Every structure is written in structure tokens, then in C-alpha cells.
Amino acid sequence: MTEKNEYRALLCRTSDLTPAQRLVIMLYALSHSDRGGVVRETGQALAEQLGMTPTVFSRIRKQLVQAGWLEESEKFAHITYFRLSPQALGEQTVVPMRRAI
């Protein structure tokens, strides 16, 4: 699947979210991340990119964490970094059960 198709699929998966929540998800999807998918930018820097106040951005991000779209990755001093969750990436985290023989 090409990147373009992956972003379209992500937009489809987030259709039940508010427009502001979808913007935050797409910003995380499009931002530079490390191998683990962690976006190492502050919430303030990300909020500026979207034209949001840091308070509004933080509130939306918290909603997305609670809904399972983002997950906290690690903390450095007072800064918490986030990444897209498997749900946002379209990954299935449930392993299908097999019948015992």
C-alpha cells in the first residue's frame, strides 16, 4: 500500500471523529517519527502547526488517547511524547483463536 493510500485509509478510519480530532491524527501521521513511531515534537510546536492554542491541542490529544487513537510513548523531563496507536494504523491487535485439536 502506498503512503497516499495509507493516509486515505486513516481518514476513512477516523470518520467518526470531530474535524479537529482528525487534524491532530493526520498531523501525527504526517510528522517525522522515530523507528517506534514516536513523534518527538512538543505539543506546543504541533499546536502551532495547526493554528491551535496549546490548551485546545492538549485537550484534543487527551481525548484521542482515551479513545485509543494515540498512545503515550515516553516522557523526557516534563514533556510527554506520543505516537499513533495500532488502532489508528489499522493494525489488528487481536490474534484469532484456533480450535484445539
- Asked whether the CA dihedral 30, 35, 37, 38 is positive or negative, the reply is negative
According to the model, what pLDDT value does residue 99 have? 65
- Name the 3-class secondary structure at 7: helix
Residues of the chain with pLDDT under 70: 1, 92-101
C-alpha distances in angstroms, 58 versus 12, 19, 80, 93?
A: 23, 15, 11, 27
Query: The CATH number of 3-89 is which of 3.40.109.10, 1.10.10.10, 3.30.470.20, 3.40.50.1580?
Result: 1.10.10.10
pTM beyond 0.85, yes or no: no
Phi, psi (deg, nearest 5) at residue 44: -65, -45
pLDDT tens per residue across span 72-89: 988 888 889 999 998 888
Query: Residue 84 forms beta bridges with which residues?
Result: 70
